[in-house]
Chain A
């Protein structure tokens, strides 16, 4: 297995005396194997050549990497696909090579000892046998849907044939991989064997097959399942139900992939394999060049890039062996839970036991749910729980490598928390403030060691939101930035490094957008009309639903801080929110807000809200008009953030908005969206809005200049 012996394309092969042609994927200098075009072509040639080789009696696929079998196709090749024709050709190549494996005159087996995704799974499906190692390393799945496409190397056809309609739909439509145990249960792998015996057992399987014995008996699927697949009426019922359920969550116009996947899976039952493969290739050809898929592929690559560099800061990250979380509110407890989930000891501190117990309860609930789902053993849940230690004092602060502060959003309180911590923490410990709006530099203004103070802004709820803003204050050291960046990665987050300024990146843009929504409300537009306009744009929730969820009091606090910094651009957001807060409306958490709530479920809009904020008489305009004002307010502020240097490049703004604010991924983020519709158009519309509604819409210099030169924001120097 030494790297030097592996030829550059990453496949080794040899035929043993037992006639087993052993093909080992081993991409030189990489941690994972990929099915690149080169690998596929070589694989095809290899199988062709072996057909003439009398010694070969069976085919065995292995990986030379620990923890990875085949991680699918190369995303860079995918991004380079120019058009539908290209995409169909790529799919055709994969299909043809895998068909050669399926059509070969010998039995074939895959020995899966690690992650097996996308094209890797499709290769496994083309084999006669699939043997998996036990243990957590094995994950098998078809994640293509997450890139806005469908599996294109026969996956939509072979998987339903192997595991049946229901399991196939589950794997293909969610894109979530399954572990070895589940894969065996649904029939995706034939056997699970101890990891050290993986190759041996796979060979035994092939030897038995060559000798004409059945290596093992496959479990028959239950009659009811077979009936669903065999009777067209029942089958189409399942498919149409799934389509309806999917359509309730996902707009086909924005995300066509799930609907096309259903079409392909249906064909797996109604048509012979060759026709099914034709359809699959055609669908892939249509999906890959769509805006949605392009944006999702771009997002995937951008997230990978963000993991590699900490926004230009260079230093060696400190290893975090213990974390201390100050404040056990929803945010603090959520962060402590995340840390404990990564099996890092964490001390969670609050002034009283009530919040601490709440934190323990919510962590416990989350792990219990994971145990019920089968993702975690009860022992592991108990072990994780034991990483979490609550306390009301500052004991344990001295040994923490990282302190994460999540106390109230108030400059004085945060400065005090920092001062108190600094008395006890080690000289090299890093103090991360979880502030969402206050500048880190101000919080660190009186710090003893301001170079070790950094911003680490999680989004609510922290265990679900994938984004973390890493904020470098004016005096923050590169080591502090790099350390919390690496730490965020360890927690499974995508960190975006931003420059210190009120509201940082996401909250600043979101507040501008919410401020615009509030102006619309004041002009007399209905709350639900504004919200539904933004949902139609693709936001998961409308601006008023968002405010209710944030809590109107917290939103007001954030608005005040941002209004102090950016003045008129935001408008009178905090005053309006203040009127609602004083009327006892705090949002979902209490008293209702723009909507009424019952048991946390949204009801109708509250008819008294417009009166409370002094709205004008009812006004109505088409949803697109409302949408335009709100979306363009985001685009313009995003461009200003870029000008101000809050973000280093357009990618950072867009990824942050997609992951942190729910900007629709199909549209690629405010700046990619602006590029897509053309900067001159954006500038023109913004100018007209500025004339009609005020200077806040005056297009950012960056947009004007780039638009004039016929350039796009991406690719600017």
Chain B
């Protein structure tokens, strides 16, 4: 039974995701955000005047739109009196936006909040070489910036001065390691083989392709008309490679450690462009407006961990979120989304959660439990469709919610590991 002050999600939609500098490169962050937010308002049929706040997750910012939350709110024709904020918890920013919205609602500070996640990796300055500062050693890329299909022809850095250089924005300032190097370390620490990683990536592409082919994405995604010419729309996630083959993945060279490394472009997610918007409300307001309740935000948690093993953040956040949800056991959760920044890192998290040694040492508990593949990332993930940093956290909540509805599942869990050594997780419930 829903309580009046429960935070419920009533609608949500996202743009298609496209790998950085591909078909959405001409669409600014604010435009991506506007399309998603406006569409979420249209689909939810809420009166924009009744919306109390917009909270928007974003990492890289947008040139010319420092106050991205406010800019998106104004472009989406939300009322001027309505405040807006942008939040940044690195890769978990989109989830942070959802959690912040839910907290506002539970606290009675708001009754209708839009939570969004937006990233235009193609245009955000931290991802551009021209933003580089002196004194920071160039580190190897952790994610390939250019689309993979053209990377074979050696197109890296095809535009001098503007090529996204992830070494700058994503190198970890605390440890000095490139953000991607941790994935190799996790693979080593948790015995994740190259073959396992490649197989997981392959599955991600196949599941994502199937989700589209079977029409499961229609409800989730709104096509984006591409300005300024408006002669085409981007209607589907662009990064999915339907014909991905194990042999093709196996042929890719490791990116970070040429000799012993296992992380390749094929089993790491590409940066992406995209936006997500969700409409959250208090249960009482949703009831009063006759809005359909897709699910309730039952609990959430964010937690820090060793920056040198940042990809493990999800493994730390999940137990805490489950505990806050009233001690829910992991095996009672019907569907799980763990964000696929790297195959190695998702697999390491899974292994950590079922490892007695890890759980005793770091969580002070027995093993949390296994997550079998049948309920993990069932519609694929970022390995296939890409990772627009600020948007991904909101995307997995949306995807999870719609899949829970399709399967009539009652409990869902969405978790991410975030850059800098953090994890965040959110428990959703359908009643």
By beta carbon, the residue of chain A nearest B11 is A395
CB pair B77 A356 closer than 8 Å: no
**A386 pairs with B76, CB closer than 8 A:** yes
Complex alpha-carbon distance, A390 and B227, angstroms: 13
Q: Which residues of B contact A385 (CB under 8 A)?
A: 227
**Contact, CB under 8 Å: A399 / B225:** no
A356:B47 contact, CB within 8 angstroms: no
B39 at the interface (CB under 8 A from A): yes
Residues of B close to A345: CB separation below 8 A = 48, 77
B228 lies within 8 A of A396 (CB): no
A566 interface hit (Cβ, 8 Å)? no
A-B CB contact pairs (8 Å), 29 listed:
A345-B48, A345-B77, A347-B42, A353-B225, A353-B233, A356-B225, A357-B230, A357-B231, A360-B225, A360-B230, A361-B229, A361-B230, A364-B230, A386-B38, A386-B75, A386-B77, A387-B77, A389-B38, A389-B39, A391-B39, A391-B42, A395-B39, A395-B42, A395-B43, A395-B45, A396-B45, A397-B45, A399-B45, A399-B47
Q: Name B225's contact: one of A382, A390, A397, A398 (CB within 8 Å).
A: A390
Residues B226-276 near A (CB distance < 8 A): 227-233, 235
Among B341-388, those with CB < 8 Å from A are: none
Which residues of A sit under 8 angstroms from B227, Cβ to Cβ?
Answer: 364, 385
Complex CA–CA separation, A364 to B231 (angstroms): 12
Docked Cα-Cα span, A390 to B76, in Å, equals: 13
CB neighbours of A386 from chain B (8 A) = 34, 38, 75-77
* Chain B residues closer than 8 Å to A361, beta-carbon distance: 229-231
Residues in A whose Cβ lies below 8 Å from that of B222: 391
A385 to B77, CA, bound (A): 11
Closest Cβ neighbor of A353 among chain B residues: B233
Q: In the docked arrangement, what's the CA distance between A386 and B77, Å?
A: 8
Q: Is the CB of B45 within 8 A of A398?
A: yes
Chain A stretch 308-360: residues in CB contact (< 8 A) with chain B: 345, 347, 353, 356-357, 360
Residues on the A chain within 8 Å of B45, using CB: 395-399
> Which residue of A is nearest B76, CB measured?
A386
Q: Is B304 an interface residue (CB 8 A)?
A: no
Smallest beta-carbon distance B68→chain A, Å: 15
Q: A357-B225, A395-B43 in contact; A383/B230 too (CB < 8 A)?
A: no
Residues of B within 8 A of A (CB): 34, 38-39, 41-43, 45-48, 75-77, 222-223, 225, 227-233, 235
- Which A residues lie within 8 Å of B48 (CB)? 345
Nearest CB to that of B44 among chain A residues?
A: A395
State whether A389 touches B233 (Cβ < 8 A). no
Q: Which residues of B contact A399 (CB under 8 A)?
A: 45-47
Q: Which 5 residue pairs spanning A and B have beta carbons closest together? A: A396-B42, A398-B45, A360-B230, A395-B43, A386-B75
Contacts of B232 in A (CB 8 A): 357
Nearest CB in chain A: distance from B158 CB, A:
29
Question: For A395, what are the chain B residues with a Cβ–Cβ distance below 8 Å?
Answer: 39, 42-43, 45
1/0 contact string of A378-414 vs chain B (CB within 8 Å)? 0000110111011100011111000000000000000
Known: A386-B75, A389-B38, A396-B41. 15 other contacts (CB 8 A): A353-B223, A353-B225, A357-B230, A357-B233, A360-B225, A360-B230, A361-B229, A361-B231, A364-B228, A383-B75, A386-B77, A389-B39, A395-B42, A396-B45, A398-B45
Residues on B with beta carbons closer than 8 Å to the beta carbon of A347:
42
Which residues of B have CB within 8 Å of A398? 45
Residues of B within 8 Å of A387, CB to CB, are 77
A353, B235: Cα distance in complex, Å = 10
Residues on the B chain within 8 Å of A391, using CB: 39, 42, 222
Residue of A nearest to B223 (CB): A353
CA separation between A386 and B38, bound complex, in Å?
9
Distance of A345 Cα from B46 Cα, bound (Å): 14
Contacts of B230 in A (CB 8 A): 357, 360-361, 364
Measured CB to CB, the nearest residue on chain B to A344 is: B77
Give the Cβ gap from B27 to chain A, nearest Cβ, in Å.
13
Expressed in whole angstroms, the Cα–Cα distance for A522 and B292 within the complex equals 63
Distance, CA A382 to CA B43, complexed state (A): 23
Task: With a 10 A CB-CB cut-off, give which of A347, A383, A398 has the most chain B CB atoms.
Answer: A398
Q: How far is the CA of A335 from the CA of B309 in the complex (A)?
A: 57
Docked Cα-Cα span, A390 to B233, in Å, equals 11
- Tell me the complex Cα distance, A360–B35, Å: 14
Determine the residue in chain A with the shortest Cβ distance to B235.
A353
Min C-beta distance of B221 to chain A, whole Å: 12
Closest A-chain residue to B229, C-beta based?
A361
Least CB distance from B112 to A in Å reads: 13
What residue in chain A is nearest B46 (Cβ atoms)?
A399
Q: Which residues of A contact B76 (CB under 8 A)?
A: 386
A residues less than 8 Å from B46 (CB atoms): 399
B43 close to A396 (CB less than 8 A): yes
Whole-angstrom CA separation of A395 from B40 in the bound complex: 9
For residue A367, give the distance in angstroms from its CB to the closest CB of chain B: 11
Hey, which chain B residues are within 8 Å of A390, CB to CB?
225
Closest to A383 in B: B75
Q: Which residue of B lies closest to A357 (CB)?
A: B230
User: What CA separation (Å) do A356 and B427 show in the bound complex?
Assistant: 39
Bound complex: CA A579 to CA B235 (Å)? 42
Nearest-Cβ distance from residue A579 to partner chain B, whole angstroms? 37
For the complex, give the distance between the alpha carbons of A386 and B34 in Å.
8
Which residues does chain B contribute within 8 Å of A356, judged by CB atoms? 225
- Output the least CB separation between A7 and chain B (Å): 41
User: Bound state CA distance, A399 and B11, in angstroms?
Assistant: 15
Tell me the minimal C-beta distance from A377 to chain B in angstroms. 15
The winner among B42, B223, B229 for most chain A CB atoms within 10 A is B42
